[in-house]
C-alpha cells in the first residue's frame, strides 16, 4: 500500500507539469500505463500494482526498454524512477549496455531500493548494483536505500520537489 500511496501522491504533485507512464518489472517489463497527463488513468494503473510471489525482477531489461522508448518519442526531459527490492535480478543485460542506453536516452535516473543491499556475487546482481550506483550518479539522479516500504511516500515526495524546482537553461 505504501508504494501505491506514494505513487498516487507523486502523480498528483507532478501533474499537469509532466506526463507519467508506469512500467512494472515483475516477470518481465510490462507497460501498465502509457505516458499520460490523466490522473484517473494513472490511479487505475497504480491500483493494479501488487506483489507477485514466485517472480523476480527484470529491472535492467526494464531500464533498457524505457530508455529506448524515450529515444523513439524524443522526450524533452525524460526521468526514470525505479522502485525495486533487493531480491533476485533475472535480466541478462550487461551493465555497460544498460548504462549506454540510459545515457543516450538523456534520462535522469533515480532508484529507490527496498531492503538490505544484496551481497550476492552473481553476475546479474553485480550488473544490477553497477547500474544502480553508476547510472544514478552519471545521469544526475540519486540512489536511496530504504529499509522499509513505509519510507517510499517521503522519498517520492523529495524526488517530486526536486524535479519541480529544476529549470532548463538554454544559451543562444
Task: Confirm if 38 and 9 have CB atoms less than 8 A apart.
Answer: no
pLDDT at 76: 85
**Helix or strand or coil: residue 24?**
strand
Query: What is the C-alpha separation between 61 and 97, in angstroms, rounded?
Result: 10
Cβ within 8 Å of residue 167, ≥6 positions away: none
Cell of 155: 522519498
pLDDT at 27: 79
Cell of 169: 537553461
pLDDT at 167: 79
The ranges of the chain with pLDDT < 50 are none
pLDDT at 117: 81
pLDDT at 166: 85
Task: Confirm if 119 and 86 have CB atoms less than 8 A apart.
Answer: no
**Helix or strand or coil: residue 147?**
coil
In a 10 Å sphere around its CB, with 0-12 CB exposed, 13-18 middle and 19+ buried, how is residue 9 labelled?
A: middle
pLDDT at 143: 96
pLDDT at 86: 79
pLDDT at 89: 87
Backbone angles phi, psi at 120, to 5 degrees: -65, 140
In a 10 Å sphere around its CB, with 0-12 CB exposed, 13-18 middle and 19+ buried, how is residue 130 labelled?
A: middle
Cell of 114: 527496498
CA dihedral in degrees (57, 94, 113, 69; nearest 10)? Answer: -80
pLDDT at 161: 95
What pTM was computed for the model? Answer: 0.91
Amino acid at each position: 500500500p505504501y508504494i501505491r500511496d506514494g505513487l498516487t501522491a507523486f502523480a498528483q504533485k507532478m501533474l499537469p507539469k509532466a506526463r507519467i507512464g508506469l512500467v512494472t518489472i515483475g516477470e518481465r517489463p510490462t507497460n501498465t500505463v502509457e505516458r499520460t497527463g490523466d490522473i484517473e488513468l494513472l490511479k487505475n494503473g497504480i491500483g493494479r500494482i501488487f506483489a507477485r510471489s514466485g517472480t523476480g525482477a527484470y529491472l535492467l531489461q526494464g531500464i533498457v526498454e524505457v530508455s529506448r522508448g524515450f529515444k523513439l518519442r524524443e522526450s524533452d526531459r525524460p526521468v526514470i524512477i525505479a522502485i525495486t527490492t533487493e531480491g533476485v535480478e533475472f535480466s541478462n543485460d550487461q551493465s555497460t549496455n544498460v548504462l549506454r542506453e540510459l545515457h543516450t536516452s538523456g534520462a535522469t535516473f533515480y532508484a529507490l531500493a527496498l531492503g538490505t543491499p544484496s551481497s550476492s556475487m552473481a553476475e546479474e546482481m553485480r550488473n544490477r548494483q553497477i547500474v544502480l550506483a553508476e547510472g544514478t550518479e552519471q545521469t544526475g539522479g540519486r540512489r536511496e536505500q530504504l529499509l522499509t516500504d513505509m519510507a517510499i511516500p517521503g522519498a517520492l515526495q523529495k524526488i517530486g520537489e526536486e524535479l519541480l524546482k529544476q529549470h532548463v537553461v538554454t544559451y543562444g
